[in-house]
Homo-oligomer: A and B are copies of this chain.
């Protein structure tokens, strides 16, 4: 049962959060490139980072700051990833966190840092330091969209979502912003999200909720199977909604459900804004013996270039779907398996004679679901992806030419 409802806004939808975004000169276009999300109250922080062994400096610094009991702010620049630049990257990140902290009279490790943009080019530190005072001055309770705009790289629209739910006599809000889809230019490092809430959530529970939710949302999307060096999801809980701290049990469940909705909506927006994407595709594996098995199979299908080009071509190509499950590494019986495109059963142990007109009308839609039922258990998992178009290749291949 859904206990939450949608509300307007993003990271500043919850009480006690301010945000700002401005152009400090990192983007040649003059577009906004520096964002700050700030909690008026001491907050608890949680975060999930890229599993890539190659981690950008802000990722490594934020991992260290995660040990701090309190978190107050997330500072993000776009246009430069501060990744793969040697020891200078770490020094630059520390310089920026120290300057920002001094401005607010708090400790540097109350800041999470995020960077997104070109890899391998040293971060211009001066423009960021010069812009910090204005960034602070412009902090506003309706600044969420300005911040969401400033973290965009090649995203074509801002990505914000927020929900509210009532629990124990008070309204709790959760809001977030994200950017993604952006390996359009060479060496771009990609996905960032900031989620805020006015719920009072102790740090260990906050991390537990975020880790489980990210596993079912941001980690269940794929554009092209590539994992960037900068992916980070930050969550701040400042308790401004008042009331008792969230405890394990119904209170944590309600919070987690609402958090999952915000993260899922942001994740879906990233897929829909994927490079060259023309379709949003849900790959649903059911009848698996475990959720892990279902996820492994769904991920193989969602990452198959042959499957993705077939969806682009609106081709009812169940053979490629079955073959991808076949090489995913899971154990299953092709004879027991069923494949559906939308509601249309196209394979049940063998290819079926189906109405091509019906298949075409299903595949022509902007959003397509394919279900692969392994018929060997009760578990299921869904991976969300987009199709692979000629535009993707043009975007990623022709940057310099």
Q: Does A29 contact B (CB under 8 A)?
A: no
- Residues in A22-71 with C-beta less than 8 Å from chain B: 51-55
| Given A351-B121, A388-B393: A186 and B398 interface contact (C-beta under 8 Å) | no
- Residues in A310-330 with C-beta less than 8 Å from chain B: 310, 312-315, 317-320, 322-327, 330
Cross-chain contact B399 with A313 (CB below 8 angstroms) = yes
Residue of B nearest to A85 (CB): B350
Report Cα–Cα, A52/B297, bound state, in Å. 12
Cross-chain contact B318 with A228 (CB below 8 angstroms) = no
Interface segment out of the listed A12-20, A162-170, A210-218, A219-227: A219-227
Interface segment out of the listed A1-9, A172-180, A254-262, A301-309: A301-309
Give min CB distance, A241 to chain B, whole Å: 38
Of the residues B88, B183, B334, B387, contact of A306 by C-beta under 8 Å:
B183
Q: Does A196 contact B (CB under 8 A)?
A: no
| Given A53-B325, A53-B331: A319 and B393 interface contact (C-beta under 8 Å) | no
Report chain B residues within 8 Å CB of A398. 313
Q: Does A101 contact B (CB under 8 A)?
A: no
Q: Does A115 contact B (CB under 8 A)?
A: no
Of the residues B54, B317, B323, contact of A323 by C-beta under 8 Å:
B54
Of the residues B84, B119, B393, B401, contact of A390 by C-beta under 8 Å:
B393
Cross-chain contact B313 with A396 (CB below 8 angstroms) = yes
Report chain B residues within 8 Å CB of A310. 186, 396-397
Q: Does A142 contact B (CB under 8 A)?
A: no
Cross-chain contact B54 with A325 (CB below 8 angstroms) = yes
Cross-chain contact B313 with A400 (CB below 8 angstroms) = yes
| Given A320-B187, A327-B51: A304 and B225 interface contact (C-beta under 8 Å) | yes
Give min CB distance, A59 to chain B, whole Å: 11
Cross-chain contact A397 with B393 (CB below 8 angstroms) = no
Q: Does A86 contact B (CB under 8 A)?
A: yes
Cross-chain contact A312 with B229 (CB below 8 angstroms) = no
Report Cα–Cα, A335/B55, bound state, in Å. 11
Q: A330-358 vs B: 1/0 string, CB under 8 Å?
A: 11101100000000000101110000000
Cross-chain contact B229 with A53 (CB below 8 angstroms) = no
Report chain B residues within 8 Å CB of A366. none
Report Cα–Cα, A399/B363, bound state, in Å. 14
Q: Which residues of A contact B (CB under 8 A)?
A: 51-55, 83-86, 88, 118-121, 183, 186-187, 189, 224-229, 303-306, 309-310, 312-315, 317-320, 322-327, 330-332, 334-335, 347, 349-351, 387-390, 392-394, 396-401
Instruction: List 14 additional A-B contacts (Cβ < 8 Å) besides A120-B347, A393-B393.
Output: A52-B326, A54-B334, A84-B347, A86-B350, A121-B351, A187-B318, A225-B303, A226-B324, A228-B323, A229-B323, A229-B326, A309-B397, A314-B401, A390-B397
| Complex A-B: 21 CB contacts under 8 Å | A52-B323, A52-B326, A53-B325, A54-B325, A55-B326, A83-B319, A84-B322, A119-B351, A121-B351, A187-B318, A187-B319, A224-B306, A226-B306, A229-B323, A229-B326, A305-B392, A313-B398, A314-B400, A387-B397, A389-B393, A392-B393
